[in-house]
Amino acid sequence: MKQVKRYRWSIILFMVIAALVIWKRPIGVDAFTISVTNLKEMLLLVPPIFVLMGLMDVWIPKETLTKYMGKGSGVLGYLIALVLGSVAAGALYIAFPIASLLMKKGARLSIVLFFLGVWSTSKLPVLLFEIASLGLPFTLIHVGVNLPLSLLFAFLIEKIEKTESVDALREKAPDRA
């Protein structure tokens, strides 16, 4: 019963797709095909990310990460988050385990939030595609608006959030090693 509860949304999704295949076959087949494609993509991307996270967890001591991305890191921590988020590959759901690891190792909340903002809006591969598709002026405006806003909101959230809830968030972050 615990497994059913744990996977209830997957089961519900499967039942909805099965119902669609029965009543609206073309839509159901499309939904099934898209779901399988997304699952394959996720299964190809997630294991290497977890391996990378395991290596980061072992290779980068907590003290080093705290020094460069923790409370006293200053601008350097945000620059590291900018580089990490910019050179990223993959969908945003891959960034969350990395953000969890950063939190667990003592990174400042605003730096982790800025990293997520950069990952979601300013990855280099996406920017190159955006320049080719929408033009350089659009991309410059997009990045020029999104990066400062990501930084501003990261600071605001860190300022508003209570220390106890940030500590609780750190505690909830799973150990990787």
If asked whether residues 33 and 72 sit together in one domain, one would say no
The boundaries of the domain holding residue 73 are 60-172
- Tokens representing 8? 């209830």
Q: What is the pLDDT of residues 90-102, one digit of tens each?
A: 788 888 888 988 8
If asked whether residues 66 and 16 sit together in one domain, one would say no
Number of structural domains the chain divides into = 2
Average pLDDT, the chain: 87
If asked whether residues 75 and 118 sit together in one domain, one would say yes
Q: Is the residue at 54 inside a domain?
A: no
If asked whether residues 64 and 110 sit together in one domain, one would say yes
Q: What is the secondary structure of 10-35 as a DSSP string?
A: HHHHHHHHHHHHHHSHHHHHHHHHHH
Alpha carbon distances (Å) from 81 to 69, 131, 174: 8, 23, 21
The Cα angle at residue 123 between residues 59 and 38, in degrees rounded to 5: 90
pLDDT the model gives residue 177: 42
> Which residues in the chain come in under a pLDDT of 70?
175-177
- Tokens representing 38? 């997304």
Which of 97, 110, 113 minimizes the C-alpha distance to 174?
A: 97
pTM value is 0.73
If asked whether residues 120 and 168 sit together in one domain, one would say yes
